[in-house]
Amino acid sequence: MITLASLATLAGCHSFKKENVQPPTPLAKDFKSTVQITRLWKTTVGDGAQVSGVRLRPAVVDGVLYADSTDGKIAAIDATSGKTLWTKSSRTHGWFGWGDKKRKDAQYAGGPAVSGDLLAVGTLDGHVYAMSAKDGNPRWEVEVSGEVMASPVIVGDMVMVRTGDGRVYALDAADGHRRWVYDQSTVPLLSLRGNGTMLVANGVVFFGSDDGKLVALRQDNGSKLWEQRLASGEGRTEIDKLNDADGSILLDGSTLYGAAYHGNLTAIDGPSGRPLWSHPFSTFDSLASNASAIFGVDDQSQVWAFDRSTGTDMWKNASLKYRWVTGPAVQGNYVVVGDLEGYVHWLQTGDGALAARERLSKKAIRAQPVVVGDIVYVEDVEGHIGAYRLSSP
């Protein structure tokens, strides 16, 4: 599979020093915040994603933030104070201390998943590792058929992972043995780099595919229940035909929401796979939602809000156009995104007006922010992680 990791406008690599790529919209110098932002802490985990093109997104579970890097670092951090609880490096003794010490570092990708005392993480060279969430000690290692660019999902006694060659694996959480594998069989030769994290609910596994479909599998055996198109894949050139659904899938009650590049934002009835409504919207990022709206970032880096009942667009903010902002997260009454210059932006959910701006670093932020309670966690491509709380001035 050929990926387009080098094209900023397609893969979101945040490099605009190329021909025919628009420069980022300048930020207003006279901007005044309407909400107070407090950075609680800032730390670094390894070298981050660097130029790998993956979106390293931390996980926050039971007051602990877990993060990894492509140079073999993984850490647990107190989510409130930023204090490091434990850290492990594959560099010291090879991969988790096993095998040949001359082997290269584990190239963690996508971010870890945690449930109870089990932590699972995938790598760019096609491995899945499980370890103790309490101290990082290794449990098992499994090789899969391709790079794992999205976070695994732990459900019950299974660890579920996606690979870049279109497969979904269900691994036993106790020892990693394969329970089943779903093979997409046909993966486009040309594809955007990345995969969205799978959604598992009500005994069903949902994910967006590289050929623009939302796919539903049975959790117990991996058989396909249904699939629904989010994009047509039509066009005059191979690039025009790109239609990856690389964002995560949202679920509200029995309604699913998904979107694709060169495609649509679509609401789908989960049990039947029947479309409820569809609205033209091209994106390669994940969506977010609140009680009344679905929020997304289009392929020109404009932030949108859509009515979740009808799909009608409610507002659009173009002030961050070509700043290649992340997929959105919702923090209280604000939408949070990061951009290619390390800025974090807060927009009002009601009308999209910019409300606040802070700078995490001078490096690009590619991963969707993580909101837990009243705190949002943001990570850039060099492994800098910041925690922010907002309050009315």
CATH of the domain at 169: 2.40.128.630
If pLDDT is split at 50, 70 and 90, which confidence band does 366 have?
very high
151-173, pLDDT tens digit by residue? Answer: 999 999 999 999 988 899 999 99
Is residue 176, in this structure, part of any structural domain at all? yes
Is residue 108, in this structure, part of any structural domain at all? yes
CA 359-364-370 angle, to 5 degrees, is 70
Question: Pairing state of beta strands 303-307 and 64-68?
Answer: unpaired
Q: At 335, which amino acid appears?
A: V
Is residue 137, in this structure, part of any structural domain at all? yes
Range picked from 102-111, 256-265, 279-288, 349-358 for highest mean pLDDT: 349-358
- Which pair of structure tokens corresponds to residue 16? 């605009």
Domain extent, residue 131, equals 80-183
**What strand order describes the sheet that includes 108-115?**
108-115, 118-123, 127-132, 138-143
Is residue 107, in this structure, part of any structural domain at all? yes
If pLDDT is split at 50, 70 and 90, which confidence band does 323 have?
very high
Q: In what helix (H) or strand (E) does residue 388 lie, and over which residues does it extend?
A: strand 384-391
Residue 363 has pLDDT above 80, yes or no: yes
Residue 1 has pLDDT above 60, yes or no: no
Q: For residue 22, what pLDDT is reported?
A: 87
Q: For residue 245, what pLDDT is reported?
A: 64
Q: For residue 222, what pLDDT is reported?
A: 97
Residue 141 has pLDDT above 90, yes or no: yes
Q: For residue 164, what pLDDT is reported?
A: 87
What are the DSSP calls for 236-267, one per residue?
SSTTTT-----SPPEEETTEEEEEBTTSEEEE
172-209, pLDDT tens digit by residue? Answer: 999 999 999 999 766 655 555 557 789 999 999 999 88
> Domains in the chain: how many in total?
1
Is residue 93, in this structure, part of any structural domain at all? yes
User: What is the percent of the chain where pLDDT is above 70?
Assistant: 84
Is residue 312, in this structure, part of any structural domain at all? no
Is residue 273, in this structure, part of any structural domain at all? no
Which of 152, 126, 156 is CA-nearest to residue 141? 126
- Please indicate whether residue 31 or residue 93 has the higher confidence score (pLDDT): 31
Mean pLDDT for the chain overall: 88
Q: What is the DSSP letter of 292?
A: S
Is residue 155, in this structure, part of any structural domain at all? yes
70-127, pLDDT tens digit by residue? Answer: 999 999 999 999 999 999 998 533 444 444 444 456 899 989 999 999 999 999 999 9
| Residue 321 C-alpha from the chain's centroid | 20
CA distances from residue 349 to 295, 332, 337, 367 in whole angstroms, order as listed = 9, 9, 12, 20
